[in-house]
A and B are shown apart, each in its own frame.
Chain A
Amino acid sequence: MDKNLPVFVKIADYKEVLNVVDVMKQKLKETTQTLDKIKELKSEEDKEIQEWEKNITEISRRLAFIDSAFFENE
């Protein structure tokens, strides 16, 4: 028996299927957008953490300077 025989779908069901596909497309689009947003947020977070690290390095540098100035005679 030929396995590539055509399948017949009822018109009413077909319309519904089309609607479902449309909704699925929309949902997929939304998902892609959400993913992009998450990526963006992640990069933003990474940037903030980098900034944080930079600031902490700067603080430690300044503190070392002050510390050396105050206690070098000890």
Chain B
Amino acid sequence: MNKNKITKTKIEKTQKNLETKVRANLDGSVAIDQPILKISKKKELMLPDNSSSSKMLVKGNEPTLPRLNSNSKENMPNVSLPKLATSNRTKSSPATEIGSIARAKNRRDIIDLPPNDDTYFVYLNAPLEYRRHLLESSRKILFCLKSHQKIMFIRQKKFEELKRLRAALKELLYLNKKFREKLPKYHAEFLGHTLKGSEIDGNISRHKAPTMPVFSSNATKPKDITREKTELEKLEDSLASIELKLKNL
């Protein structure tokens, strides 16, 4: 309730200020180059549609204007002044009456929160598009992170496969040696080959066979993979939420 009261007072104050400005402009005492500012729902200062520029940087701190006395007000011509419209419009408040003029002129929903001092606002023509772009970018970034996780997972799998390949090759080497061992020993000169002394002497069997780990198809996966999967799931969740938001746009 208090908040509403404060807002109402602020609205009235701002309206009075604007009214004074416009009257002063009509009077010729103060020149206002820019059109009257309206304040959007998100505390943004918005320019009317007839403005030449699509967006404009506006400072929240408004310029001080000379105060008019009550007599000068009476001499003013009777003009309809665009004023700030309220979101909580009531029939009795004067703000609503003037606000309706502004609404009729500019068919946007306008709210009336005065800007904070020393705050700048930028008017964006199509905020929905920017929002869409930002959301799409976030989506793509999440896709990238997902890809990163996938790549890490693939590399881990690849590393395991390479280890398996290395082990298989070592086993093959051992089997090859064994195979040669099983063949009858022959004299080097007999077949025209020069063999090492150890092979001729039958010392091949003295070589110890390397102990190879046997890989089975149903080998247990390392724990790290499960952890990465949960990370992937998290990313997928956030991706789903962003996609839902995009659909709702």
A interface vs B, CB < 8 Å? 1, 3, 5, 7-10, 13-14, 16-17, 20-21, 23-24, 27-28, 30-31, 34-35, 37-38, 41-42, 44-45, 48-49, 51-52, 55-56, 58-59, 62-63, 65-66, 69-70, 73
Contacts and interface: CB of A to CB of B under 8 A. Distances in A.
A17 B133 contact: no
A31 B148 contact: no
6 contacts: A3-B190, A9-B184, A20-B182, A27-B171, A37-B161, A63-B137
B176 A24 contact: yes
A59 B139 CA distance: 9
Interface in B80-107: none
Given A20-B175, A24-B175, A27-B175, A7 B168 contact: no
Given A13-B182, A27-B172, A41 B157 contact: yes
Contacts of A58: 136-137, 140
A32 B11 CA distance: 79
A55 B130 contact: no
A41 B158 CA distance: 6
B154 A52 contact: no
B166 to A, nearest CB: 10
Given A41-B157, A41-B161, A8 B184 contact: yes
